[in-house]
């Protein structure tokens, strides 16, 4: 409890006050998503239900199709390597590289900074959040036993870590949907941690299904299956696993938000001459701020688009 108070009111006081000063009440689908996140740590919605303007999703689909066309050889090679057990997440290809260059004009940044998404992130945290990374993932279908992030784990980057996943193709059970132990997020008050196995070279504690089931029964596991356009928001400080595609690849866009106080380096490469684009609002400026400092810029009143 003390660390929650310290995190919120010492380490993040500025973002908390800015959020309280400027926030507009959440309504409709965004309000439902935040309520469900608060309750379970995961919430599902869709582009059609959440976004006022679906055009950014169409632009995302177009951009990803072009990436796939340009990287066809790399994808084929990565698919060949996906069954190798001797590497880190060989089942996953990150289209924008491990550390994408932060480009606020790109569709990948614009998607994450859409008003509805940022309001969900800020509403869940109760403060202005920072966008820490984005990427496009292709999880290759393999026949191997679960490993790395396919086993239950919690993400380390902050006290709350909000990831948004947007499905660029249908995700059924055989595509390795994210699976979440409802109520295991920091707001859920789970009392017991599961037993785990440590693997050489991996800092995370990872649990198999039996170990997880001893703490959160499988009836409380939420599987993020859904058609193209499904959006999943999850506080990945709660226990989750995913990406173990067995029948068909999974293709999705992901973005991640933390508080300003996260001690982890951001996932981006931030260009030395990075500047805030004109015409964005204050929540978006905060989300694009670098570690340890706020970007300067008056910004438009919240609610403007990117
Ligand atoms: O691939 C998934 O569904 C889960 C991803 C994951 O474990 C993570 O982002 O921490």
Q: Could you tell me the CATH number of the domain that includes residue 88?
A: 2.60.120.620
Number of domains observed in the structure of the chain: 1
At 294, is the pLDDT very low, low, confident or very high (cuts 50, 70, 90)? low
Rounded mean pLDDT, 43-68: 98
Q: Is the CB of 283 under 6 A from ligand 1?
A: no
Compute the distance from residue 139 Cα to the ligand 1 centre, in Å: 10
Please check whether residue 295 lies inside any domain of the structure. no
Position 247 scores a pLDDT of 96
Please check whether residue 256 lies inside any domain of the structure. yes
Rounded mean pLDDT, 207-230: 98
3-state helix, strand, coil split of the chain in percent (to 5) is 35, 20, 45
Q: How far apart are CA 106 and CA 56, in angstroms?
A: 11
Domain holding 279, by residue range, is 2-287
Q: How far apart are CA 287 and CA 305, in angstroms?
A: 14
Pick from 85-94, 101-110, 190-199, 203-212: least confident = 85-94
239, pLDDT greater than 60 = yes
Compute the distance from residue 151 Cα to the ligand 1 centre, in Å: 9
Give which of 166, 176, 184, 188 is closest to 252, Cα–Cα.
166
Rounded mean pLDDT, 35-57: 98
Find out whether 291 and 261 touch, Cβ atoms under 8 Å.
no
Compute the distance from residue 178 Cα to the ligand 1 centre, in Å: 6
Q: How far apart are CA 119 and CA 129, in angstroms?
A: 9
Ligand 1 mutation pick, 163, 255, 264, max ligand atoms within 8 A of CB: 163
Please check whether residue 282 lies inside any domain of the structure. yes
pTM of the model: 0.94
Please check whether residue 305 lies inside any domain of the structure. no
């Amino acid at each position: 409890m003390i660390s929650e108070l310290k995190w919120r009111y010492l380490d993040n006081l500025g973002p908390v006050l800015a959020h309280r000063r400027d926030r507009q009440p959440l309504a409709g689908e965004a309000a439902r998503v935040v309520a469900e996140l608060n309750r379970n740590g995961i919430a599902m919605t869709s582009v059609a239900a959440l976004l006022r303007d679906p055009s950014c999703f169409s632009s995302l689909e177009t951009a990803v199709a072009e990436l796939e066309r340009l990287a066809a050889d790399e994808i084929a090679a990565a698919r060949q390597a996906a069954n190798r057990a001797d590497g880190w997440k060989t089942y996953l290809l990150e289209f924008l590289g491990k550390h994408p260059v932060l480009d606020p004009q790109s569709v990948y940044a614009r998607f994450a900074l859409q008003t509805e998404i940022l309001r969900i992130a800020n509403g869940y945290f109760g403060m202005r959040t920072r966008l820490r990374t984005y990427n496009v993932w292709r999880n290759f279908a393999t026949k191997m036993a679960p490993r790395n992030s396919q086993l239950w784990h919690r993400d380390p980057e902050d006290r709350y870590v909000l990831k948004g996943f947007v499905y660029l193709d249908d995700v059924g059970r055989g595509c390795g949907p994210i699976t979440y132990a409802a109520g295991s997020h920091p707001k859920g008050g789970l009392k017991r941690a599961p037993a785990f196995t440590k693997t050489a070279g991996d800092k995370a504690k990872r649990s198999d299904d039996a170990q997880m089931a001893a703490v959160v029964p499988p009836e409380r596991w939420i599987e993020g299956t859904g058609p193209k356009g499904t959006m999943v928001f999850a506080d990945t400080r709660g226990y989750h696993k995913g990406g173990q595609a067995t029948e068909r690849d999974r293709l999705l866009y992901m973005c991640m938000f933390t508080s300003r106080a996260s001690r982890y380096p951001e996932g981006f490469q931030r260009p030395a001459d990075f500047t805030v684009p004109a015409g964005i609002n204050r929540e978006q400026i905060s989300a694009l701020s670098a570690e340890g400092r706020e970007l300067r810029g008056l910004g438009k009143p919240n609610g403007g688009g990117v």
